[in-house]
Amino acid sequence: MKTLLSGGAAMLFMAAAISDFRTRIIPNWIPAFLGLLFAAAAIVDPSAYPPLSSVAGAVLVFVPLLILFAGGKMGGGDVKLLTAAALWSGWEQLPALLLVTVLAGGVLAIVALARVMARRAADTLALFFPYSATAKARLWLETLLRTRNVDALPLGEAGLPYGIAIAAGGLSILSPFGSTGM
């Protein structure tokens, strides 16, 4: 039963990452179901999912994130998803969750910047050589991504889809190496 519940949590983390990448929205039902699955896991095996430790970790994460949200520095879906992930991590695994989330966010930022820089270089070349391979490659990229706004992926007005990084952190604490093991 414990494996089924943590497997469901893993699927929800992946759904959040996909949704945040595609739409920049993490639906409210995902963190809500993560919380419900955690409650069920805590009832099934309170020694593996200690409720007090988990609530303490979630509160410790939620309060500063709420301040960031109020200041417009973080999205509401990210706050809810990371708080739900902190429930699953508990107090003991919270540093691991945050470390993996921050590292994955750094990789995400580097990839996003590299994509923007490559696109701008291709645009510059296409200016001087409009019938070149780079101009055709840009058109192919736009077609592949089904968008005419390549700059918005993954950087744009909405910023980074940080739900991907949070999902990576959440999956890391659900792994066989984390305390809640699958």
The reply to whether 180 falls in a domain is no
Q: How many domains does the chain have?
A: 1
Confidence at residue 181, expressed as pLDDT on a 0 to 100 scale = 44
Give per-residue pLDDT as tens, 115-129. 778 777 766 766 666
Distance, in Å, from the CA atom of 58 to the CA atom of 91, rounded to the nearest integer, reads 8
* 66 vs 179, residue with greater confidence: 66
Q: Please compute the mean of the pLDDT values over residues 16-31 and round it to a whole number.
A: 94
Q: Please compute the mean of the pLDDT values over residues 138-160 and round it to a whole number.
A: 57
The reply to whether 182 falls in a domain is no
Give per-residue pLDDT as tens, 57-89. 999 999 999 999 999 888 999 999 999 999 999
What Cα–Cα distance (Å) separates residue 169 from each residue in 13, 26, 129? 9, 16, 44
**Domain containing residue 66:** 2-174
The reply to whether 181 falls in a domain is no
The reply to whether 52 falls in a domain is yes
The reply to whether 26 falls in a domain is yes
Written as six digits, the tokens of 34 are 């993560």
What Cα–Cα distance (Å) separates residue 104 from each residue in 71, 162, 163? 23, 9, 10
The reply to whether 93 falls in a domain is yes
Phi and psi at residue 24, to the nearest 5°: 65, 25
